[in-house]
Structure 1
């Protein structure tokens, strides 16, 4: 038995022990972790004990809840698994949700909906709340409601010294500023408090178009976004589905465009706003209409089953018809590029407006976000997909924004790559906060 075991509410797993691999399993099945120790925490006291143990033994600390952000294997140090800290409570009168570090967005949506309230959630119900919020977060209501981290009211954090602090605008204000978009290296967040919003009606969903209409819809949508109202959030997903038996028959071997739409308002007004998009081309599947708050994940219909994954992302300046031409030349039904799908999200609106007191979110000036999903074949992840993504990035380079946001930054290898996720002044301030709260670098994070 490990020396930590007797002092924990949770459990400790060493390499080779039963439960070690299962505790580390995340959403991306292509990544397998093999640290020196895993502490499955069940309380704040467990986190304190784990951090202090790691500091005494010179072990780097990393944190995992759902494993959605895993890109590289962890091969040393101590991993704190927070998945058991998954409590969610809602104070309907205050409009506040208190959320544990291991909770996923789906649980928060379900807890808030009976009160007519909603979190400004991510697109997937399976993504962990805390990791997503610390990176800013661009969800299906981004244009009308802003970054998800704008709704963070406070966080309970275990520092690298083992202290438990409450980070709010009034207590630990610099740490609180950093937690709203600064991502990691700031301590171990064990819980957050998030402001909920009242959404009496939601008109949302998606329109799917067949291959013959993909170009026309993409071009029409790009033109439509130039004057789109700030209270409507849209995105497009262009997908080239393989002809494989695990897919539904209506998707196998097909090239499709799905246009997502979300308007927090009445069906009558939503129908009026969506009418120009419905008219772009014949709609193959119309799944756009009045939506219950509990069904918000259907807007993007992100996969919830773990699978091998590889992605690349960036933020974009305003795109135009020249962009559509380059896009269509690279990704079409007969193209050999090894991508499963490419998503483009329309930003702007509230995403451009920072919160009172400011935040560490990067990318507020961007007009669009793009995310490439590689073919789910791990043999392509090391060389083929990075090379293809680099070529794609070069081709659309005229529209790639000079800065990104950390939740869209993938595979950074150098300090400069890492720094691109924030404006220069924001990154410099984050560096100072990290040095203050973790001068010895106990919490592993960053690059270069």
Structure 2
């Protein structure tokens, strides 16, 4: 059941509308649904009003209005990682904050509404790239405030460590520029704490020098998964930090847009990004190609603009459930248990089961402390199941619970904030250690004393 969060009787938004450069819409207006709809169509967002901001002043005006009327304010850019309870009474949609300026010497200034795809295209002519996620269809700010772990993680670490500055409106309605020297407590909280500390309007961050990479995905029939995964486990642990890898069990429908070797069957994909000499990358990947017959081989030297080909994540909005866990190891027994629950012949309902190999630069702390707490994790496990209705969602979630229970001996108890958005006491304690939660609570109490920002509610849970 979808419930719209109503404003108190007699509330009028005319005063706020008059202050905005952008626009405000209520549920009775036709523009409302398109603005509130997230990428994950299984997560309805129904605030009392949605504010499509165009300036940082719009954000400040909305937060001021919310505080004055006893409302809460939420924020959404692309709607990836949506959580219905975070919409608040007034949902700030930041798509209109679309500044994207690339400085050829190696950094960029980005508005809160910009997706990675825009930056990748703008940076490529300068031989630059960002430490983006598995798809460039997600927003840069949301990804980075959750830590930012992507297909370059072992080589370049998390994107939160590359931030130079934020511009943000905190829950007290004040616009602030945040750096390691200016508001270091906010700088800590905004890198890993998601939106608890404020609504980011712009970010400045360092880029990397990377025109091309060797990589993509090599796919095998799922009947050969046990042999391939057994070799992949040791192969991944022996990789130099120039390489980052993951594996994925896919069950893709027989649709025209899906490559025929992958359509209508279960396959195992090994993803690989190598930032060193391409010949060495090919030699390393050949060690896995030799294990079993390859049904599709996408690995090659590619321009960085082709980075999405590695994970091949879907772009079009769809209804899914996608829980995740982190592991401290992935030994042979763990691989066997994973395949028993989710491999060939298991009856798994999941469209995708992914295992990412971590370590390398990911495991090292950045120059400045941040609220990302999972450097010691060695692997991430993510499931994605369709949620076209309540029954299919329940089936996918129950199966994910079975899989995670099978891997419980290696479960760290944690999850990345981007894979398990903090919104209540339980999710917060999976995302953060108690010391980090205490620091986040102090920041929220300082800059949002009246609890205006809905994303900060988990610090008080």
- List runs of 5+ in structure 1 lacking aligned partners: none
Superposed displacement of residue 75, structure 1: 7.0
Name 2:137's counterpart in structure 1: 126
Name 1:157's counterpart in structure 2: 168
1:116 corresponds to 2:127:
yes
Name 2:81's counterpart in structure 1: 69
Superposed displacement of residue 243, structure 1: 4.4
Q: 1:248 to 1:296 in 2, by over 3 A?
A: closer
Task: Return the alpha-carbon distance in structure 1 between the equivalents of residues 170 and 113 of structure 2.
Answer: 18
1:81 corresponds to 2:88:
no
Normalising by the residue count of structure 2, what TM-score does the alignment of the two structures yield?
A: 0.93
Q: Is the 8 A contact 2:81 2:419 kept in 1?
A: no
Q: Is the 8 A contact 1:310 1:381 kept in 2?
A: no
Name 1:297's counterpart in structure 2: 308
Name 1:363's counterpart in structure 2: 374
1:341 corresponds to 2:356:
no
Q: Is the 8 A contact 1:86 1:103 kept in 2?
A: yes
Name 2:44's counterpart in structure 1: 32
Normalising by the residue count of structure 1, what TM-score does the alignment of the two structures yield?
A: 0.95
Superposed displacement of residue 326, structure 1: 0.6
Task: Return the alpha-carbon distance in structure 2 between the equivalents of residues 413 and 102 of structure 1.
Answer: 22
Superposed displacement of residue 307, structure 1: 0.8
Task: Return the alpha-carbon distance in structure 1 between the equivalents of residues 192 and 168 of structure 2.
Answer: 15
Task: Return the alpha-carbon distance in structure 2 between the equivalents of residues 425 and 74 of structure 1.
Answer: 23
Aligned ranges 1:382-397 → 2 under 5 Å: 383-397=394-408
Task: Return the alpha-carbon distance in structure 2 between the equivalents of residues 417 and 114 of structure 1.
Answer: 41
Aligned ranges 1:100-249 → 2 under 5 Å: 100-243=111-254, 247-249=258-260
Superposed displacement of residue 245, structure 1: 6.5
Q: Deviations over 1:150-175 (max 9, x none)?
A: 11111000111221111101111110
Task: Return the alpha-carbon distance in structure 2 between the equivalents of residues 207 and 404 of structure 1.
Answer: 27
Query: Greater shift after overlay, 268-277 or 343-352?
Result: 268-277
Q: Secondary structure at the match of 2:351?
A: strand
Q: Deviations over 1:65-105 (max 9, x none)?
A: 00011143667511001011122110112x11100001001
Match of 1:430 among 425, 428, 440: 440
Name 1:19's counterpart in structure 2: 31
Aligned residues: 446
Match of 1:322 among 311, 333, 354: 333
Superposed displacement of residue 367, structure 1: 0.3
Aligned ranges 1:398-417 → 2 under 5 Å: 398-409=409-420, 414-417=424-427
Q: 1:378 to 1:113 in 2, by over 3 A?
A: same
Q: Secondary structure at the match of 2:27?
A: coil
Aligned-residue RMSD, C-alpha: 1.8
Superposed displacement of residue 440, structure 1: 1.2
Superposed displacement of residue 420, structure 1: 2.0
Superposed displacement of residue 415, structure 1: 0.9
Q: Secondary structure at the match of 1:420?
A: helix
- List runs of 5+ in structure 2 lacking aligned partners: 1-12
Name 1:421's counterpart in structure 2: 431
Q: Secondary structure at the match of 1:408?
A: coil
Match of 2:279 among 265, 268, 291: 268
Name 2:67's counterpart in structure 1: 55
Name 2:10's counterpart in structure 1: none
Q: Secondary structure at the match of 2:333?
A: helix
Query: Greater shift after overlay, 47-56 or 70-79?
Result: 70-79
Q: Secondary structure at the match of 1:284?
A: strand
Task: Return the alpha-carbon distance in structure 2 between the equivalents of residues 111 and 80 of structure 1.
Answer: 26
Name 1:354's counterpart in structure 2: 365
Q: 1:381 to 1:82 in 2, by over 3 A?
A: farther
Superposed displacement of residue 249, structure 1: 4.1
